[in-house]
A and B are shown apart, each in its own frame.
Chain A
Amino acid sequence: MENKVNLTLNGRAVSARQGMTILEVARENGIDIPTLCYLEDFSPMGACRLCVVEVEGSRTLVGSCHTPVTEGMVVHTHSPKVLAARKILVELLLASHPDSCLVCDKANICELRRIAADLEVGLPRFHARKHYYPVEDENPHIIRDMSKCILCRRCVIACKSAGNGSMFSVAYRGFESKVVFGCDQLVDEAAVCPDFDGCIALCPSGALRKPVKIGEERAEKALIIKG
């Protein structure tokens, strides 16, 4: 029999299996914690910080995707402090994101946009230098627009575990960080991968997308933005 851990989640007593993360326990109990970098079945990145929660007795908010539950833990997933932090995090992500949602192919399935709407982020408060990179649309299977990348690293992780190391890596440092292909080359016609659709489906923004061929219907569901 596995060890059980008892904790309090948003005022409710719940029990979980030893080794589960706060995020897993929350999702199992029907609590929706937003995430942008988390991928089920992969080791957590903890890059986007959107999954932060308040743990009583902890000095800071903790990332729920990489924090295991402990006995007697008291967790608040949607306290005012948590919501304020998440809102600012999304605002900061959007600060350097191009204002091109209106014409973005992935606008209707964009996770970043959905979370921004859910958190009622509103008009931009912060303005950071935007990175503009050329759109890489030479390849018949993938279009890459790194201007829209939020550096969640999902494509890097997913590609790495698909086989012989990743096609993508994070290069440079700080504000200059960028997910690169090869020695920061464009993903050209010659680039081949058995499963480009994998990383495209995982990309939470418009950075990776599938070229839409004429006559091909879009399969994705429309996003319903409230308000």
Chain B
Amino acid sequence: MSEKGISTLGREGLILRLKEAQSKFGYVPQEVMAELAQSLEIPINEVYGVASFYSFLSTRPLGRNVIRICRSLPCYLKGAQTVIEAVEKELGIKPGETTPDGRFSFQLANCIGLCDQAPAMLINQDAHVELTPEKITQILRMYK
């Protein structure tokens, strides 16, 4: 009974611990997952299952800045595709990739709740809205 109680508590703490690792290292390294599995007494595959489920947790190293462009319907209708292409052209990488200098990772995200100001994207924690291909160069210049 008490054993079960502890393991349930461990599971509850898992996401919090993964988020901590994410903000500390920029991703969740495999060693951290192994440590978490051991301390929370759950199998490592379960830790990996949770870490890989969430968009804001990464199991692989990312660039210093992470661009997330919304690919949901409202943004799509307002021309998100042209913005995506502008970023691809500017950085020379496709969604899911990281620039060789490690400055940017580029991802597509589902709705980020900024449909009223579509098309929208997040760079790290900052929202950039009402995007046009022309605005991209200037915005990206702000991130080193």
Contacts and interface: CB of A to CB of B under 8 A. Distances in A.
A164 B43 CA distance: 8
B117 interface: no
How would you classify the secondary structure of chain B's contact residues: helix, strand, loop or mixed? helix
A183 B44 contact: yes
Given A182-B48, A183-B30, A183-B33, A172 B43 contact: no
Given A183-B30, A183-B33, A184-B52, A169 B46 contact: yes
A171 B43 contact: no
A171 B49 contact: yes
A180 B48 contact: yes
Interface string A152-175: 000000000000111111111100
The secondary-structure label for the interface of chain A is loop
Interface in B1-55: 30, 33, 42-46, 48-49, 52-53
A108 B49 CA distance: 32
B81 interface: no
Q: Range of interface residues on chain A?
A: 10 to 19
A182 B44 contact: yes
Interface residues of B, number: 12
B48 A166 contact: no
Given A183-B30, A183-B33, A168 B45 contact: yes
B99 interface: no
A149 to B, nearest CB: 14
Contacts of B59: 183
A11 B46 CA distance: 45
Contacts of B42: 165
A166 B44 contact: no
Interface string B88-130: 0000000000000000000000000000000000000000000
Interface in A81-97: none
Contacts of A171: 45, 48-49, 52-53
A182 B44 CA distance: 6
A183 B30 CA distance: 8
Contacts of A182: 44-45, 48
A196 interface: no
A172 B48 CA distance: 9
A166 B48 CA distance: 12
Contacts of B33: 183
Interface in A30-56: none
Contacts of A169: 43, 45-46, 48-49
A179 B76 CA distance: 32
A193 B100 CA distance: 41
B43 A184 contact: no
B13 to A, nearest CB: 16
9 contacts: A165-B42, A166-B45, A169-B48, A170-B49, A171-B52, A171-B53, A180-B48, A183-B30, A184-B52
